[in-house]
Structure 1
Amino acid sequence: MAATDILEVFDEEAGLSFAVSPTFGGEFASLRVRRANRWVELLHRANRFDRPRAGWRGRAPWLFPAVGRSIRAGRPGSYALGGRVYPMPIHGFVKDRAWELSSVDKRSVVCVAASDAETRKMYPYDFELTVVYSLLPDGFSARAEVVSAPSNPGSMPFSFGNHLTLAIPFGPGGDGGACIVRSPASKELFLSDKGLLTGGSAPSPCRSGRVLRDDPRLCDMVLGGFPAGECWAELSDPASFGVRVRQSVLGDAGHARFVFYSDGGRTFFCPEPWYGDPNSLNGGSSLVRLAPGERFDWEMEITVV
């Protein structure tokens, strides 16, 4: 594929459209909905693949095999495994790689990322990550499957997630700072100044909804303790509509998180679904551990409410 190739799935009747770029991280490159006879782009920096001079790149990068920072001996960017030290970029490496297009039809796109000689320099396991992007009646779905190669010498550890970046406000004349954040999570998990969990927690402030401008913590927050089957976060623009992001995982959902990140409500808000915690490759907790030949299934749904 050419470097600028973008695949679009479009449903005029439903008023839904998404785009995926296999070349640039195999991620959602655009999410559009039609409201009041106008198309609204939901993603910050949609279909833009240049690196901004400052600030966050936007769109919806995949996070694998690490979420957040990997910090060893007080220094970011590495982890220890089996007596060796490996480099690991923030949020892993699949976001920075070209993926392969597996299939495309009128309602879905399938992309695949797989291990190779370059990934083994950072992560000594063979894997295949497949994502199926599709339309829902009221939004979008990304279903991910991670398979540990049968040839792996032991269980493959990783954490997983997506850095979904919503452009705010959703409607013309709206105010991003007035958007309301809501989630059924029971806990806020405290972060250190290095972006790692401290082990401390408090009741979540988001159960009844918080205005983005009124609570600076929402610019960098981790939520956990979700009720069974209710792992979601919602961002509502009082001047237009809301977007709910839900994650589901086949198996134990105890390590499911939502991480919030924002520029203070000026242009974007990230309701990031994570499975696992920062620095999990070093800390060893909140990891998926796949035996050779096993698979991990995870889904992100993005719906308009």
Structure 2
Amino acid sequence: MTTTISNGNVSAAINHHGAELISLTYQGREYLWDGNPEFWGKHSPVLFPIVGTLKNDKYLFNDRQYHLNRHGFARDMVFSLESKTDESATFLLKSDSETLKVYPFDFELRIVYSVSAEAVTIAYRVSNLGDGQQYFSLGAHPAFALPEPFANYALEMVSAKTLVSSLLDNGLLSGRTMTLPLIEGRLPLDYALFDTDALIFRNAGFHSLTLLENQKPILKVDFEDFPDLGLWTKTGAAFLCIEPWLGYADALDANHQLKEKPGIIALEPAQDFNAQFKITLL
């Protein structure tokens, strides 16, 4: 089932399965990847309650072992539509007997999509319904369509001079890094950048970037509430994922303890955690 919101200028379609944004149009242009399964069959999955890969796909909490697949389970579950207007929609996922088998926390996850002027804002609220602290990570994974040749695109981060990416080894942080020099604040795109998987910027130091097509801005992503960022594509694919994150994959030497996982968020009982980011279409 799909819900569509629009202000007559910007339109967004959200699949109830995973509360996943599957279309984003502005002035007749589709900005989101079409989900061609030959390369990657998703559009913009929600990453919760982990981001990235756990070492051996497992973690320990209160002396018990649990298993979670890469990026967690939210992207594979059906959300309910809690409320809707012409220009906004709120989706809700609640813990249940199945989630408790792999993630022992009572929670609610709300995702609010709203369109305004030339932008869509995606807001998240995690509510801890349990008696103890809840531990989680949270991330977005939107894939933006690149109809031109990949080399015609660049990313602009005006507040940064260089980027330092943490390199992955079979989905885990290897401890090695790669420094990417920027040319006048811009990173030209090249598939070779992604030879070892995603680029991961922990505590990135910038909270906004602009995607350029033939040197002209086509969209801007603002993610003030997210300290970490992932960039990803596959060789030959006509998309780039720009991924605001709160958290990231385990390291090769991770000890599996959820409470000690770098980047993890601890939420007190009866408290809410809120974060949002905005995509402006140019």
* TM-score, normalised by the number of residues in structure 1: 0.81
Partner of 1:8: 4
Letter in 1 for 2:87: R
Q: TM-score, normalised by structure 2?
A: 0.88
d(CA) in 2 for partners of 1:91 and 1:243? 25
Aligned length: 272
Of 218, 228, 231, the residue aligned with 1:260 is 231
Residue number in structure 2 paired with 1:165? 143
Q: Which residue of 2 aligns with 1:287?
A: 264
Shift of 1:265: 5.8
C-alpha contact 1:20 1:27 (8 A) present in aligned 2: yes
Residue in structure 2 matched with residue 122 of structure 1 by the alignment: 102
Give me the identity figure in percent: 26
Structure 1: gaps of 5 or more residues: none
- Find the residue that maps to 1:248 and give its secondary structure: coil
Q: Could you say which residue in structure 2 is the equivalent of 1:86? A: 66
- Rounded to whole Å, the distance in 2 between the matches of 1:275 and 1:27 is 18
Residues in 1 aligned to 2:243 and 2:124: alpha-carbon distance in whole angstroms = 15
CA apart distance, 1:216: 2.1
Corresponding residue number in structure 1 for 2:202: 224
Q: Distance in 2 between matches of 1:206 and 1:232?
A: 15
- For the pair 1:270 / 2:246, whether they are aligned, the reply is no
The 5-angstrom pairing of residues 1-305 of structure 1 reads: 5-12=1-8, 15-22=9-16, 24-34=17-27, 39-45=28-34, 52=37, 54-71=38-55, 75=56, 77-149=57-129, 151-152=130-131, 154-169=132-147, 174-183=148-157, 184=159, 187-201=163-177, 203-206=179-182, 208-213=185-190, 215-217=192-194, 220-227=198-205, 230-238=206-214, 241-249=217-225, 256-264=227-235, 266-279=237-250, 282=257, 284-305=261-282
Of 121-130 and 211-220, deviating more is: 211-220
SS where residue 30 of structure 1 aligns?
strand
Instruction: Summarize the Cα distance change of 1:120–1:225 in structure 2 as closer, same or farther, 3 Å threshold.
Output: closer
**Residue segments in structure 2 that go unaligned for 5+ positions in a row:** none
On the 8 A contact 1:168/1:265 being kept in 2, the answer is no
Q: Does the 8 Å contact 1:66/1:279 carry over to 2? A: no
Once the 2 structures are TM-superposed, how far is the Cα of residue 248 of structure 1 from its aligned partner?
A: 2.9
